[in-house]
Amino acid sequence: MASSYIRKRNKKYTAILEVGRDSATGKKIQKSLGSFKTKKEADIVLTAAMAKVNNGDFILPQKMKVKDFLNTWLETYAKNLSPTTYNGYKIIVNNHLNPAFGELEIQKLQPIHLQQYYNAKSETLKGKTLIQHHRVFRKALDYAWKNQLITKNPADMVDAPKVKKYTSTVLTPSQAKQLLTAVKNTRFEAPVNLGLSLGLRRGEILGLRWCDIDFINKIVNIEQTLVVANKELIFKEPKTEGSKRSISAPLELLKILSNHKKLQNELCLRSGGAFNNKRDLVCTRDNGDPINPSSFSCAFGDFIKRYDLPHFRLHDLRHTNATFMLLTGTSAKVASNRLGHSTINITMDLYSHVLKDMNEDAADRLNDVIYK
């Protein structure tokens, strides 16, 4: 963390700003802000400099290694991000960027260094992961450029890593019914029905509370999501305004949830306190604690292997829900709102193949009406 002090030498007052430590030597990284005739003048300059530090808008010492810059950037700009985003940035910086670029002076960092990094990492990392590295590094270097530490951002002159588009598995109606039969009266019944009927994301399913469900008006409100940050389970608000939404729920889903709530209440009474759902969650572990999202996905993968179903991810229930909505005549706008997409363009892009089929079907129906 940054700190400041005033040092008096002869009859001058020098304003000193400390902006961290050199990761190799442990020595303090200091920047002199000038010498002044009075302590009051030095104090005014320091106060203004610390205000810039607190706003994440200060200029770093000119000769600095990449690792020292990235570590300082994490503690100034990135610390104001959400816990999950900050933790993700920190992992990328500490485990990948610092080991690869850390000893270089930031002014000597060139586009070729980044390109060589992407080429080498592409052998062990997926394109989606590698593009996250690119985005984090580009954002950090853009911060360095804005603070006049570098004259240009080398990440702007490198092509972003290619991402192989994931092809989701969409269940057929018969496969969906087969899945619902398989999960009946199991720990997967409520979460699978929530994913299939409402298209909820994994974190939204596991973060859903009973107080978020309005059984009278048949509404499910998405108010929070469950994520993992630094190996800890954290409940947070949905990332975008669109993700925070109210969804009309099918009657059959509400019946399943009502029965699930009844069973959960009975378990609480029978357990003698062993089951404690203090967070009011719909989906919990056997003792009432929140479910780790990664562990749940693994358990779900093991579960579907027992049945004659194609391999699919838990998230593919969301894609199946979206496809079913569009194929049964739900408008793209309504589907987008229910799915919590920030814009309708995301829906149009993700499900362009479905919309294409619907477009062709509309042409066939018009042909029948007009020409037959």
Confidence of residue 307 (pLDDT cuts 50, 70, 90): confident
Q: Are residues 223 and 304 in the same domain?
A: yes
Q: What is the token pair recorded at 200? A: 């909820």
Confirm whether 218 is domain-assigned: yes
Among 200, 88, 93, 70, which Cα is nearest to 142's?
70
Q: Residue 38 carries which side chain, given as an amino acid letter? A: T
Q: Are residues 150 and 279 in the same domain?
A: no
Q: Using DSSP, state whether 234 is helix, strand or coil.
A: strand
Mean pLDDT computed over 275-293: 95
Confirm whether 248 is domain-assigned: yes
Secondary structure (DSSP) of 129-172: HHHHHHHHHHHHHHHHHHTTSSSS-GGGGSPPPP-PPP------
Q: Is the dihedral of CA 245, 246, 250, 256 positive or negative?
A: positive
> Is a pLDDT exceeding 70 seen at residue 356?
yes
Range of the domain at 227: 173-362
Look at residue 9 in the predicted model and tell me its pLDDT. Answer: 82
Q: Are residues 190 and 338 in the same domain?
A: yes
Residue for token digits 């079913």? 324
- Asked if 176 and 196 touch (Cβ cutoff 8 Å), the reply is yes
> Is a pLDDT exceeding 90 seen at residue 297?
yes
Look at residue 201 in the predicted model and tell me its pLDDT. Answer: 95
Higher pLDDT among residues 128 and 220, named by residue: 220
Confirm whether 367 is domain-assigned: no
Q: Are residues 191 and 334 in the same domain?
A: yes
Q: Model confidence over 309-340: pLDDT tens digits?
A: 888 999 999 999 999 998 888 888 999 999 99
Mean per-residue pLDDT of the chain: 88
- What domain count does the chain have? 3
Confidence of residue 354 (pLDDT cuts 50, 70, 90): confident
How far apart, in Å, are the Cα atoms of 280 and each of 170, 196, 210, 246?
31, 22, 6, 18
Under DSSP, the state recorded for 110 is -
Confirm whether 205 is domain-assigned: yes
Asked which of 107, 133, 157 is the last residue of a domain, the reply is 157
Question: Could you tell me the end-to-end alpha-carbon distance of the chain, in angstroms, rounded to an integer?
Answer: 77
Q: Are residues 27 and 71 in the same domain?
A: no
Look at residue 347 in the predicted model and tell me its pLDDT. Answer: 86
Q: Are residues 104 and 220 in the same domain?
A: no
Look at residue 291 in the predicted model and tell me its pLDDT. Answer: 96
Q: What is the token pair recorded at 136? A: 């984090």
Q: Are residues 85 and 111 in the same domain?
A: yes
> Is a pLDDT exceeding 80 seen at residue 19?
no
- Asked if 199 and 338 touch (Cβ cutoff 8 Å), the reply is yes
The proportion of the chain whose per-residue pLDDT surpasses 90, expressed as a percent, equals 52
Q: Are residues 313 and 184 in the same domain?
A: yes
What CATH code is carried by the domain that includes residue 212? 1.10.443.10
Q: Using alpha carbons only, what angle is made at residue 325 by residues 321 and 331, rounded to the nearest 5 degrees?
A: 140
Q: Are residues 121 and 186 in the same domain?
A: no
SS3 content of the chain, % helix, strand, coil (to 5): 55, 15, 35
Look at residue 56 in the predicted model and tell me its pLDDT. Answer: 65
State how far Cα 296 lies from the chain centre: 18
Confidence of residue 33 (pLDDT cuts 50, 70, 90): confident
> Is a pLDDT exceeding 80 seen at residue 228?
yes
Confirm whether 85 is domain-assigned: yes
Confirm whether 162 is domain-assigned: no
Buried b (16+ CB within 10 A) or exposed e, 268-280: eeeeeeebebeee
Confirm whether 165 is domain-assigned: no
What CATH code is carried by the domain that includes residue 119? 1.10.150.130
Look at residue 370 in the predicted model and tell me its pLDDT. Answer: 72
Rounded to whole angstroms, the Cα distance separating 9 from 4 reads 16
Lowest pLDDT segment from 32-36, 61-65, 235-239 = 61-65
> Is a pLDDT exceeding 60 seen at residue 61?
no
Confirm whether 163 is domain-assigned: no
Under DSSP, the state recorded for 366 is H
Under DSSP, the state recorded for 233 is E
State how far Cα 179 lies from the chain centre: 28
Higher pLDDT among residues 318 and 34, named by residue: 318
Q: Are residues 354 and 233 in the same domain?
A: yes
Confidence of residue 91 (pLDDT cuts 50, 70, 90): very high
Q: Are residues 131 and 185 in the same domain?
A: no
> Is a pLDDT exceeding 70 seen at residue 1?
no
What would you measure as the largest C-alpha separation in the chain, in angstroms?
Answer: 101
Q: Model confidence over 106-157: pLDDT tens digits?
A: 988 999 999 999 999 988 888 889 999 999 999 999 988 887 788 789 999 9
Rounded to whole angstroms, the Cα distance separating 209 from 222 reads 9
Mean pLDDT computed over 72-84: 84
Confidence of residue 355 (pLDDT cuts 50, 70, 90): confident
- Continuous segment of H or E residues that includes residue 207: helix 202-207
Q: Are residues 132 and 188 in the same domain?
A: no
